[in-house]
Structure 1
Amino acid sequence: MTLEPGSADIVQLAWARRLGFDDGAFAAAAGERLTRADDAARAVQFVRLFGNSALTGPQWALDAAAGLADEELAQHVTLLTITRSHGGHGLGGAALFFADDLPLRQPSEELTVSHGNPEAFQLEAACPPDDVNEVGLSELEHRFTIMHVDDGRRAPVACAAYTEWEGILAHMGVLVAPEWRRRGVGSLAASIAAHEALASGLTLQWRAEVSNKGSLAIARSLGFTAGGIQTSVLLG
């Protein structure tokens, strides 16, 4: 699906606030890279959204990046290189997807969906730590966990969740139990959470590590539109 004309502006407004810029910063940049120096920052972050870009971090990092093109800064290895002497490490690159409407997915059978915390935490305990850290369910306020019921026993198989960014975006994440992957439950859970967020008047945001083929596939299958990339490194 395609975004409504004003949705890209909404996305850039939310990111401008999150990165510490004025509300209209992306619109006023006219294609020029936005920069904001923060010498107390513990990370260097590059974001490109719908053709506009921004870089935040200590002044020395901004100076080192001044002669580099956006395409270079979008590469995690570039940020690692310019921050090596300051202990740059971790995080990486993520594709950003957005949606202001999505087709409604209907389950083939009746589902049990939990909104509680214990079920989401139980699911995290059954998943690899790298997956748990990438999704960050504990940081996502609204959780929708699909439960599998067998002989009266209930077990979580997938959880989709979102939290509000700046009262504008629903930042989403999905975690699926390893034995239930490639069976459509992740997409179904994501559809449930997405429509709850849309009903609250939020624009949807999906962030997927560039190497996470499963997360990228879910975003595309649901109808999200690719809108940018976020590349970050931690310092020290």
Structure 2
Amino acid sequence: MTVPSEKTAATVRTALSGLPAEALVDAAAVRDVLPVARILGPATLAYVSPEGFRPATGPSPVERLPAGHAALRALEEAAGQDDSAEASLDEITSPAFVVREDGRVVAAAGYQDWPRRTAHISVLTAPEARGRGLARTAASAAVAHALAAGLLPQWRARPPASRRVAAALGFEELGAQLSLELP
């Protein structure tokens, strides 16, 4: 559990101490014992080692763009607020690995450097381009980049399609996450 201050840690620890471990990722159970302004999740957390990684290639080449590139913002607009917020491409610190169709970025992936040499993977595909392996192709390039840098790739996912992409690349689901915002 991660919290921003000792005071918040004490509040959360006291409220959640009576819950069994599996209830800590149950939004309803947590809301019953703790005042919550907003909840994100639960989501699965999956990781891949260099030995477990199964790289993917697709029919389209992968191009590298700098984080924050205008083409990424255009993809986020096309995907909509909910999907772009879930993907968090605007927070990546790595290059963006993109697939284009007709000159337009239709899939992108990258990662944010997190503590303890963790690479938090972000992936987004335009709605009309989904289901064709483009997320897997872009994400594969981002994961390969993270592994080459000696980082541990982490995939956080709620949507089943995202979880399938992670599994196809060799990620193993090892835990769950529930993010809370207290009032």
Q: Work out whether the TM-score is over 0.5.
A: yes
Question: Corresponding residue for 1:100?
Answer: 49
CA RMSD of aligned residues (A): 2.0
Q: Does 1:126 align with 2:75?
A: no
Find the partner of 1:113 among 34, 47, 63: 63
Question: Corresponding residue for 1:233?
Answer: 180
Q: Hey, what's the Cα distance between the residues in 2 that align with 1:188 and 1:38?
A: 42
Q: Does 1:157 align with 2:106?
A: yes
Question: Corresponding residue for 1:136?
Answer: 88
Distance change >3 Å, CA 70–CA 112, structure 1 → 2 = closer
Is the contact made by 1:37 and 1:62 (CA closer than 8 Å) also made in structure 2? Answer: no
Unmatched runs of 5 consecutive residues or more in structure 2: none
Distance change >3 Å, CA 199–CA 112, structure 1 → 2 = closer
Is the contact made by 1:80 and 1:89 (CA closer than 8 Å) also made in structure 2? Answer: no
Q: Hey, what's the Cα distance between the residues in 1 that align with 2:177 and 2:47?
A: 13
Q: Secondary structure at the match of 1:126?
A: helix
The number of equivalent residue pairs is: 178
Q: CA deviation at 1:166?
A: 2.0
- Structure label with greater radius of gyration: 1
Identical amino acids, percent of aligned pairs: 31
Task: Give the 5 Å matches for 1:47-62.
Answer: 57=9, 59-62=10-13
* 1:13-69 Cα deviation digits (max 9, x unpaired): xxx9xx48xxxxxxxxxxxxxxx9722x4xxxxxxxxxxxxxxx3x23311211211
Is the contact made by 1:159 and 1:189 (CA closer than 8 Å) also made in structure 2? Answer: yes
Find the partner of 2:151 among 202, 214, 223: 202
Question: Corresponding residue for 1:27?
Answer: none
Unmatched runs of 5 consecutive residues or more in structure 1: 1-15, 21-35, 42-56
Q: Which has the higher contact order (CA 8 A, sep 6+)?
A: 2
AA at the equivalent of 2:6 = D
Q: CA deviation at 1:231?
A: 1.0
Is the contact made by 1:79 and 1:233 (CA closer than 8 Å) also made in structure 2? Answer: no
Is the contact made by 1:76 and 1:232 (CA closer than 8 Å) also made in structure 2? Answer: no
